[in-house]
Each structure stands twice: as structure tokens, then as C-alpha cells.
């Protein structure tokens, strides 16, 4: 039997670094995806060959420590197999149209596609997203959140997803027809391993420990924190949760200008209060914001390189990737 699993990447419209503390995010699955085709066998070996990698992932099952596996991309495969407790593998291929290392969740797309190809149940996206999150943490050592795998699993055509990351509840929000979402790559490959991601997460967690649930607070609540770095992180998180809520309701009302203004504000907060932008991303966001027909722009995802996302009138940006809100991951048996 062959299982063919297809899992999309994602772009986050607004709500970054909020998933460290159970906050709100508003991403969408995109029309670029990773495909894993696996001929299932009863053997205790899993071999996957990727179009984009020189060396195959060849794993003895069950997997012990995913972080010890080589080559590096195979750690993600190993993380999923370890979390699923896979004992019987097979042979297969991996191909993708998600740009790798661009901050569009190529790793989450790989994790989700591997999990489905190995027989994971797609009917429970929340549990499966948590499993993929654990798999990525074990594979990479990066304390990433639930946003990316859950978006890949729960995507809805034509919709962004308002996600409460404290419960993993997903509320689809339709995108108005008269706007495009465009991604512009800074050209800087973004790897979270070795980046300040974990340190920024720690700032966010420290802010939540001092103030409690941040999404219920007013921005002024951050003023009481002594440590200026944690105070700034708290300001970002309180504001970003509010912006996600406001952006979701503005989208529902078709007020795309308001959504764009919130995206601009989000970028400034990620740059000034959390310090996760780069000069290149700042320059791209400023340039996009000056173009006619662009409603708003911001860095998207973790930052430290990767992509900017813009909301614009169709045709306003001709040097980026127009991405369409897409359905979530699916698996078929051939
Ligand atoms: C990465 C992580 C997510 C989230 C974003 C920042 O994409 O995988 O869980 O923390 O960064 O919003």
C-alpha cells in the first residue's frame, strides 16, 4: 500500500511570538505544500529520499534519539517516528513547493506530511499538531510553539485561522475577495537552531509569569515591570494579542485598511519591543508600505531573517509570491 500525504506551509498574517504564552495568532495555510509518498512495509526500516537533499533519511525503527540522527533534515522524520512509536516503515519520497528555510514553515509541512504518511489520524488535528510540535522540539532542540503544525493541519480554503494557542481551538476567518496576501523573501535563510528564538521565548514567558494571562490586559499593565527587556516583551505581547483580535474582526467586516494598519503596528512592535527584526526586513517592510495599493506589511513568523508578508490590492506587488489561503493537510491511500 502507498500513502500519499500532502501538507501545506503557512504564512502568519498577524500574531507573532504570542504562542509561547498561550496567546492568539492569525495565520493561514498556503498553496505551497510538501508531499510524502510512502510505500508502507512491515520492515523495521524507514527510508525517505528528498528531491532537495543529497543524503536520504534512513532510520532503524523504533527511533531512539531523533537529535542524534544524520543528515540534519532526517531528524524531523525521526522526531515524528519517535513520537508516533512507529515500528514498521517503508520506502518513499519527499518533494516540496514550500521554500525551505524561508520562514513559511517548511519544517512543519514536512513533519505533518511524514506523520500522515506513517498513518497518524488526521481526524484529530489538535493532538496531531501537539505531536508534531514535540517532534520538532526533540529533533531541533528549538522550543517552538503549536501555530505552524496546527495551521498546516487545520487550513481552510479562502480562510485565515484565528487560533487560541492555549486551547488549540481554531476559528476560520474568511478573507475578503478584493485583497491579495503577498510574501517577500528577505533572501536571508532563517534557521531557528542557534538563533535568539529561545531567548525571546524566555522573555515572553518571564512577562507572563509576572503579569498572568497577557491577552486580558491593557498595554499599561507592562509599565509595572522593572526589567526593561521583559517590560518591552510584555508590551509586545499585550499589544499583539489585541491586534490579532482586532484584525480578525476587521477582516470579518471587510475593513482591510484596518487590518493593514494593525500589520504595520505589529511590525514596529516586533522590531522595537521584541527585537526580532533585521535591517533587511525593516527595509523591505518600509519599501512595501510606500507602494500604492499596499494596505500593510510586517515580518512574519519568528523573524531573524525569512519573509515579510503584505496585504494589498491585487497586482500591487509584482516582485513577491502571491499566496492563497488553502485547505489543510490530507492523506490518500493509493
Ligand atoms: C516559529 C514557531 C512558532 C511561533 C513563531 C513566532 O514559526 O515555530 O511556533 O513561535 O515562530 O510567532
Residue 164 burial by CB count (10 A; 0-12/13-18/19+): exposed, middle or buried?
middle
Q: Ligand 1 pocket by C-beta < 6 Å: which residues?
A: 16-17, 19, 144-145, 147-148, 301-302
Give the distance (Å) from ligand 1 centre to CA of residue 103: 9
Are the beta carbons of 80 and 118 closer than 8 angstroms? yes
Distances (CA, A) of 79 to 137, 193, 333: 8, 15, 23
Q: Which residues are known to be catalytic?
A: 148
For helices 228-252 and 256-269, the axis angle rounded to 10 degrees is: 170
Q: Where are the alpha helices (DSSP H) in 67-140?
A: 74-84, 106-117, 125-140
Distant-in-sequence, close-in-space partners of 322: CB < 8 Å, separation ≥ 6: 180, 181, 182
Q: Do 211 and 221 contact (CB within 8 A), yes or no?
A: yes
- In Å, what is the CA distance from 66 to each residue of 60, 61, 81? 11, 11, 9
DSSP 246-260: HHHHHHHTT-HHHHH
The tens-digit pLDDT sequence of the chain (334 residues) is: 999 999 999 999 999 999 999 999 999 999 999 999 999 999 999 999 999 999 999 999 999 999 999 999 999 999 999 999 999 999 999 999 999 989 999 999 999 999 999 999 999 999 999 999 999 999 999 999 999 999 999 999 999 999 999 999 999 999 999 999 999 999 876 777 788 999 999 999 999 999 999 988 998 999 999 999 999 999 999 999 999 999 999 999 999 999 999 999 999 999 999 999 999 999 999 999 999 999 999 999 999 999 999 999 999 999 999 999 999 999 999 9
Pairwise CA distance, residues 326 & 228, whole Å: 40
- Ligand 1 centroid, distance to 220 Cα (angstroms): 25
Give residue 85 CA to ligand 1 midpoint distance, Å. 26
Contact of 69 with 126, CB cutoff 8 Å: no
- Choosing from 129, 301, 308 the residue with most ligand 1 atoms within 8 A of its CB, the one to mutate for a pocket test is 301
- The atom number, within ligand 1, closest to the CA of 103 reads 7
**pLDDT given at position 293:** 98
Amino acid at each position: 500500500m502507498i500513502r500519499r500525504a500532502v501538507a501545506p506551509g503557512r504564512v502568519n498574517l498577524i500574531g507573532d511570538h504570542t504562542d509561547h504564552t498561550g496567546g492568539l495568532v492569525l495565520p493561514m495555510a498556503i498553496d505551497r505544500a510538501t508531499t510524502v509518498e510512502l510505500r508502507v512495509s512491515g520492515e523495521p526500516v524507514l527510508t525517505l529520499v528528498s528531491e532537495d537533499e543529497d543524503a536520504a533519511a534512513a532510520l532503524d525503527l523504533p527511533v531512539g534519539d531523533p537529535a542524534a540522527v544524520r543528515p540534519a533534515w532526517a531528524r524531523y522524520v525521526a522526531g515524528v517516528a519517535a513520537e508516533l512509536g512507529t515500528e514498521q516503515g517503508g520506502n518513499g519520497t519527499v518533494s516540496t513547493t514550500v521554500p525551505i528555510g524561508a520562514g513559511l514553515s517548511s519544517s512543519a509541512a514536512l513533519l505533518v506530511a511524514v506523520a500522515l504518511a506513517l498513518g497518524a489520524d488526521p481526524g484529530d488535528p489538535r493532538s496531531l499538531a501537539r505531536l508534531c510540535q514535540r517532534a520538532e522540539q526533540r529533533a531541533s532542540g528549538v522550543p517552538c510553539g503549536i501555530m505552524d503544525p496546527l495551521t498546516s493541519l487545520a487550513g481552510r480554503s479562502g480562510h485565515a485561522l484565528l487560533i487560541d494557542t492555549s486551547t488549540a481551538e481554531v476559528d476560520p476567518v474568511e478573507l475578503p475577495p478584493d485583497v491579495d496576501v503577498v510574501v517577500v523573501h528577505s533572501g536571508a535563510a532563517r534557521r531557528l537552531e542557534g538563533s535568539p528564538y529561545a531567548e525571546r521565548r524566555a522573555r515572553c514567558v518571564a512577562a507572563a509569569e509576572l503579569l498572568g494571562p497577557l491577552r486580558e490586559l491593557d498595554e499599561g499593565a507592562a509599565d509595572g515591570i522593572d526589567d526593561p527587556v521583559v517590560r518591552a516583551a510584555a508590551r509586545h505581547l499585550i499589544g499583539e494579542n489585541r491586534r490579532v483580535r482586532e484584525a480578525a474582526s476587521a477582516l470579518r467586516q471587510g475593513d482591510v485598511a484596518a487590518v493593514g494598519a494593525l500589520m504595520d503596528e505589529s511590525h514596529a512592535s516586533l522590531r522595537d519591543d521584541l527585537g526580532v527584526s533585521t535591517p533587511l526586513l525593516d527595509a523591505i517592510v518600509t519599501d512595501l508600505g510606500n507602494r500604492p495599493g499596499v494596505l500593510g506589511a510586517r515580518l512574519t513568523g519568528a523573524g531573524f531573517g525569512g519573509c515579510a508578508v503584505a496585504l494589498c490590492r491585487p497586482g500591487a506587488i509584482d516582485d513577491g509570491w502571491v499566496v492563497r489561503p488553502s485547505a489543510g493537510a490530507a492523506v490518500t491511500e493509493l
